[in-house]
Amino acid sequence: MSELPPGIKLEKEDDKIMTLNVGPQHPGSGHMRIIVKIDGDYIVSCDPDPGYVHRGEEKMAEYRNYITNIPHLERPVIHDSCNILYPYCLGVEEILGLEVPERAKYIRVIASELNRCVYTLYWLAIYGIFLGHSTMFMWPTGDRELLIDLLEKLSGARVTHAYFIPGGVRNDMPANFEDVCIRQINYFEKRIKQYDSIFYSNPILKSRTIKTGVLAQQDAISLGATGSVLRASGVDFDVRKKEPYDVYDNLDFQSNTLKSGDSYARSKIPWLDMLESCRIIRNALEKIPKSGSVRVKLKPNPKAGNVETYKRVESGRGSLGMYIISNGKPEPYRVKISVGSFRNLICLPYLLKGEKLGNMPAVYWSLNYWPVEADR
């Protein structure tokens, strides 16, 4: 070694490896950073670094009473605001001992399914543009307006609805809502079936996503994946089926499962869920009581005893649970939010290791991950 001329060093193993900071100022990262080390075109290691949009929702919840907590708790995921308020309302109803009217339960199911579709369309649009398919970005973004209009009729707001409250929903459905809803949902179902021909049957999309980022069934369980990621790996776990809340046990639907566990399956499960949501909404509109109250009367500053509760629902990104502890004061002692986004993100380093750099967006966004919700 000593015979080498001065200034020339032997190449080390590390010199071949290039570190890429994908994010936070990167069109393909979201509000986070992924530190990717690549050797040629292959990813050697991947280190997701979330936390750029941490807003301290859990701490904020400890300074507000049970009613004023509602508007800020939906902020982590404003596209899916009904579903993130759902476990909170279920929990507060249990610790305050409120009995929700039957009509309100059905309205909640309708609103939460509509909101799941709104979120999924937004997610699908970004998945499309991540793979370079600009039509798949524009179509879901346009069709999202159909459902947003329905939710605007229902709650008055386009995205941040604040529609669910402990003891029911804020207001009743407008007079002609059922007819408009059936009409829009029929059209929407027809539209999303067209996505299959332009996106899911596309040969280039199949060649890019099938057999990339395969998450085996046992790995999915041990890594704690949830929602569409878990069901794409062949584990039939849907909170709506396994632990039915409100009126989901009266409704006729099925949970979708695929066996392969690759990016293609993970991107197809939410699309199948949207078709299922249309079925649930139609079923709920048939079974809903035609009249009745939609909320129970609340005291101005309700207090609970020394109780604690854990409730979870199936959101657009998997199971979303809230653990609420009360110590007899008007404010909750602790609200712990457990979100599907963060639990799915844990799979990312395992899936990306050894993949090609070109597969990074296809695997990353197929995890059904929403950075703002993961940071809370």
Partner 1 sequence: MSIIAPRFRLGYFIKSLLDNVFWIIILLTLIGIPAIQVVLFFIDLPVIEGELLTPFLALTWLADPSRTLPIIKALMQTDFFKIAVFPGFGFAALLAAGTIFIERKLLAKLQLRVGPFYCGKLEGILQLMGDGLKLISKEIIIPAKADKPIFWAAPLLFVGAAAAFISLIPVSPGWVIADLDVGLLAFFAIIGFFPIITVLASWSANSKFPFIGGIRALHQMVSFEIPLILSLLGIVILTGTLNLSEIVESQSNFPWIIFMPIGAIVFFIAMLAELERIPFDLPEAESEIVAGWLTEFSGMMYGLVQLGSYLKLYAFAAIFVVLFLGGWNGPMIMPQFPQEIITEGIELGPISVTIPGLPLFTPEMINGTFWFTIKTIGVIFFILIPRGVFPRIRIDLLLHIGWYKLIGLAFVNIFISLSLLYSGVLGPGGMM
Which segments of the chain are extended strands (E)? Answer: 17-22, 33-39, 42-49, 164-165, 168-169, 308-315, 318-325, 334-338
Query: Which one of residues 16, 17, 26, 236 is an interface residue with partner 1 (CB under 8 A)?
Result: 26
Query: Which one of residues 208, 240, 266, 317 is an interface residue with partner 1 (CB under 8 A)?
Result: 208
- Does residue 205 bind partner 1 (CB under 8 A)? yes
User: Reduced to 3 states, what is the DSSP secondary structure of residue 286?
Assistant: helix
In the bound complex, what is the minimum distance in angstroms from residue 202's beta carbon to partner 1?
7
CA dist., res. 312 & res. 248, Å (int): 13
Helices 102-130 and 134-155: angle between axes, nearest 10 degrees: 160
Stretch that binds partner 1, among 25-33, 116-124, 235-243, 341-349 (CB under 8 A): 25-33
- Does residue 254 bind partner 1 (CB under 8 A)? no
In the bound complex, what is the minimum distance in angstroms from residue 79's beta carbon to partner 1?
17
CA dist., res. 101 & res. 97, Å (int): 13
Residues 6 or more apart whose CB falls under 8 angstroms from that of 303 comprise 328, 329, 330
Of residues 84 and 131, the one with the C-beta less far from partner 1: 131
Of residues 262 and 276, the one with the C-beta less far from partner 1: 262
- Does residue 356 bind partner 1 (CB under 8 A)? yes
Stretch that binds partner 1, among 87-95, 234-242, 266-274, 359-367 (CB under 8 A): 359-367
Following CA atoms 350, 351, 354, 358 in sequence, which dihedral angle do they give, to the nearest 10 degrees?
A: -140
Map the footprint of partner 1 across residues 115-144, applying CB under 8 A.
128-139, 142
Residues 6 or more apart whose CB falls under 8 angstroms from that of 96 comprise 66, 166, 167, 302, 304
Stretch that binds partner 1, among 218-226, 228-236, 297-305, 351-359 (CB under 8 A): 351-359
Stretch that binds partner 1, among 79-87, 108-116, 202-210, 322-330 (CB under 8 A): 202-210
In the bound complex, what is the minimum distance in angstroms from residue 213's beta carbon to partner 1?
13
Kindly state the tokens that stand for 338.
């457990």
> CB neighbours (10 Å) of residue 48?
24
Interface with partner 1 (CB under 8 A): 18, 20, 26-28, 41, 128-139, 142, 145-146, 149, 198, 202, 204-205, 207-208, 356-361
